[in-house]
Amino acid sequence: MTKHKKKKFSKEAQKSPENKLTNQGLNSIISNQLNKSGVGINQISSIEKPGEIKMSAVILKLADPYIKEHWGNENRIHAIISLAVSVWNMTFLSQDEQEEIQGKFIDTLLPPNCHAKEIAGLMKLFDDLKQRKTELFPDIKKMIVGHNLRLDKNNIQLDISSAPLNMKK
């Protein structure tokens, strides 16, 4: 197994106002786009009904290959779960809206002077997560409105609040 060199962002890149958009802010943008598109959010629930698949299990399954790859790096696991949640929500938008928000993510997550290889890697991760969502969970129409992740050396505890989407299209 090869060790990957961790990229350290400059203090200027970390403090840059354009890099301050948070996951919560991005999910807010996604939620607003869904509302504009005529997709309504029904009652928000953090408890699934009996017999329903748990959204926490869905997101963990979606992110599983990346969690395994980065197990032991708590910051990466948090970032992977946050990205998986945001990509999940993005899949309910049009392709143009997805590309626009993906661009905002890239601008937020990567410093302005990063290499093309880093951009390509992040774009591939987006595409892989979207493809896994489509293949593994094509019929689940819920927006994730919040999540809480706790890690210890051996376990992941993920709590999800979600809302069924009212697909008006």
Cβ-based burial of 122 (10 A; exposed 0-12, middle 13-18, buried ≥19): middle
The answer to whether residue 58 scores a pLDDT higher than 70 is yes
Q: Please report, in angstroms and rounded to a whole number, the separation of the first and last CA atoms in the chain.
A: 48
- The SS3 assignment for 31 reads helix
Q: What is the DSSP string of 53-79?
A: PPHHHHHHHHHHHHHHHHTT-HHHHHH
pLDDT confidence of residue 19 = 36
Which amino acid, one-letter code, is at 121? G
Q: Where are the domains of the chain?
A: 18-167
Grade residue 29 by pLDDT with cuts at 50, 70 and 90: low
Q: How sure is the predictor about 36, in pLDDT bands with cuts at 50, 70 and 90?
A: low
Helix (H) or strand (E) holding 156: strand 156-167
Ranking 4-8, 80-84, 104-108 by mean pLDDT, the lowest is: 4-8
Length of the chain: 169
Q: Are the CB atoms for 85 and 144 separated by under 8 Å?
A: yes
- Model confidence at 22, pLDDT cuts 50, 70, 90, reads very low
Nearest alpha-carbon partner for 88 in 124, 47, 142, 35: 142
CA dihedral 87, 22, 120, 112 (to 10 degrees): 160
Amino acid at 93: L
User: Rounded to whole angstroms, how far apart are CA atoms 28 and 145?
Assistant: 9
